[in-house]
Amino acid sequence: MNQGGRYDVFISYAEADSGAAETLAGRLSTEGLRVFLAKWIGPGLVESLEKEAALSSSANGILVFSTATMNDAAIRDEYAALLDRAHTGGRRFVPVLVEDVELPPFARIRRPVDLRDPGSAPFDDGLAMLVRALQPRSDAT
């Protein structure tokens, strides 16, 4: 796996976007990627500890952006952690748009994936591009 992680991708999302995040996670899983989604944390586990461990062991990070995203303090922390991993650990950070919102400055400098119109050709194209970007590379060390 890319960077030796347990997950191919960690998906960060605001609670208001849990449906969109779960749909995305399901589609990525169907493509063979190992996905961490907080909603899938099992009973009896501590969510914050599981999220921290998953973030540390993920090769890539996605942040689902909507109007709710940056209003959630926990998501702002995850955003900061995803950026830190991109800068210090060489991990990929991909902003994913699910609503028409302006990205914050450090997300804006990255090429976002537009998934605002499920069921459309641009959505399918964006998802295919995302899958290719997240797939483990055989040449990774």
Confidence of residue 139 (pLDDT cuts 50, 70, 90): low
Give the pLDDT mean for 101-117: 94
Give the pLDDT mean for 21-31: 95
Longest dimension (CA), the chain: 40
Q: Which token pair is 130?
A: 């995302």
No. of helices (H) and no. of strands (E), the chain: 5, 5
pTM of the model: 0.90
CB 8, CB 36: distance < 8 Å? no
Identify the DSSP state of 72.
-
